[in-house]
Amino acid sequence: MEPVCEPTTVTRSSMKTIGLAGRAGSGKSAVARELAANSNAVWIDLDRVAWDTYAPGAEVHEAVVERFGEEILAEDGSIDRGELAVRVFVEAGAREALEAIVHPAVLDRLRRLREAHEKDGVDLLLVEGALLSTSPHVDRSLFDAILWLEVPDDVREERLRTAGRLDHASRGDDIAPDSLAVVVDASGTIDDVLMRVRREIDAL
């Protein structure tokens, strides 16, 4: 008589992974900060993850220097973020070239962070990245949803002016949400925006 095999029970994680995308001044950081402070949530800023991959000696560091030249290096051998930004915003095709180098490395790091937080029992993983909804290098399977925070330009500019970052207002003018992104009205007070974002997350 063949032994009876009990069905395997698969335990699925209840952690939700939410991307927060949008132009400068759309409120990505403010939303992530508030949600992470008031729930069992973790906030990952992909800008910071990206800069970690730029460390001297790292593969990304070498590839970026090879592409943009040693003129982007600071005296200590690190990449001068200001000098690199100038090149990216004035040289045709430079941003696409930089993204092709950096984004795959950032996504690899995000996969590892996601696995670690999932094992730690985190309920909500908030991933902030302006280009999450536009970069062709983003693995959408990592996310339960990507929310695009949409704000009128005059509101964005006022927020950036208040924060002393008005020079960032034109950055990302050429990016827009793709068809898979969930567009959220991010105008109004932070409480207004949080209510709309929570509604979208709770609906998943």
The pLDDT tens digits of the residues spanning 76-105 come to: 999 998 899 888 888 888 989 999 999 999
Average pLDDT, stretch 52-65? 90
Per the structure block, which two tokens stand in for 56?
A: 């001297």
Which has the higher per-residue pLDDT, 6 or 49?
Answer: 49
Length of the chain: 204
Structure confidence by residue, pLDDT tens digits, 119-176: 999 999 999 998 899 888 899 999 999 999 999 988 888 888 888 887 776 776 778 8
| More confident call, 116 vs 172 | 116
CA distance linking residue 71 with residue 73, whole number of Å: 5
Is residue 196 included in any domain, yes or no?
yes
The whole-number pLDDT of residue 172 equals 66
pLDDT in tens, 4-19: 444 443 344 589 999 9
How far is 191 from 34, CA to CA, in rounded Å?
Answer: 9
Which residues lie across from 43 on neighbouring strands?
A: 126
pLDDT score of 2 more than 70: no
Rounded percentage of the chain residues whose pLDDT exceeds 70? 92
Domain annotation covers residue 88: no
- Whether 8 maps to a domain, the answer reads no
Strand order in the sheet with 41-45: 41-45, 124-128, 16-21, 145-150, 182-185
Would you state the pLDDT for residue 9?
39
* pTM, to two decimals: 0.85
* 23: CATH: 3.40.50.300
2 falls within a domain: no
In a domain, 97, yes or no: no
Does pLDDT of 61 surpass 90?
yes
DSSP-derived pairing of the beta strands 182-185 and 145-150: parallel
How much is the pLDDT for 3?
Answer: 42
| 3 is a domain residue | no
Q: What value does the mean pLDDT of the chain take?
A: 88
Query: Pick from 169, 167, 147, 165: which is nearest to 156 by CA?
Result: 169
Q: Which domain holds residue 189?
A: 16-47+105-202
Looking at the structure of the chain, the number of domains it has is 1
Within a domain: 36: yes
pLDDT of residue 86: 86
Query: Cα separation of 132 and 103, whole Å?
Result: 10
